[in-house]
Amino acid sequence: MLIFCCWLLQINLLYDSECPLCLHEIKFLEKRDINGNIKFTDLAAPDYNESSPENGKIDYEAGMKVIHAVMKDGEVVQGIEVFRRVYNAIGLGWVYACTSWPVIGPVVDWLYDIWARFRLQLTGRPALAQVVKERAERLAASGVPSCNDDKACKPLR
């Protein structure tokens, strides 16, 4: 059963569970993902593994900056492309099909970039650097080693 379920997982979506608006979207996707094609990985979980290939070796800060997903073959995608892949996986690819069109596509990418840049502010949270620092402090306090303040201990890419 376990092998069966993991074999079906096509996309590992790295999401921020501390973002209320994002959670709304995630809940919708979870409900629509009846075939279990999507793995939902919470970036904000204390045990989120930044060095796991399954998570594309995406660190917390990079994942917070822009949404990422890791495909079954290890390919890492980000931004609007994540939504294209994820909606494809739940059979709603047409929703994002127009984002591959000329003119509309770049506009949607641009809108997403703005959202990604300002979402913390828009949802009443501190700036990214502060969020990253607070997380590192929380992890340190709970005894989980953190590499956030020490670039040298980040995995090589």
Asked whether the beta carbons of 99 and 105 are under 8 A apart, the reply is: yes
Give the nearer residue to ligand NAG in terms of CB position, either 53 or 74. Answer: 53
The HSE-up count of residue 151 (CA atoms within 13 Å, CB side) is 1
Listed ranges 15-23, 47-55, 65-73, 112-120: which one lies at the site for ligand NAG (CB under 6 A) = 47-55
Q: How far is the CB of 49 from ligand NAG (least distance, A)?
A: 4
# chain residues binding ligand NAG, by CB under 6 A: 4
Per the listing, tokens 């909606």 go with 87
Q: How far is the CB of 5 from ligand NAG (least distance, A)?
A: 19
Give the nearer residue to ligand NAG in terms of CB position, either 53 or 106. Answer: 53
Pairwise CA distance, residues 70 & 12, whole Å = 5
* 51 is an interface residue for ligand NAG by CB under 6 A: yes
Listed ranges 18-26, 48-56, 64-72, 91-99: which one lies at the site for ligand NAG (CB under 6 A) = 48-56
Pairwise CA distance, residues 5 & 13, whole Å = 16
84 φ, ψ to 5°?
Answer: -60, -50
CB atoms within 10 A of CB 24: 10
Contact residues for ligand NAG (CB under 6 A)? 49, 51-53
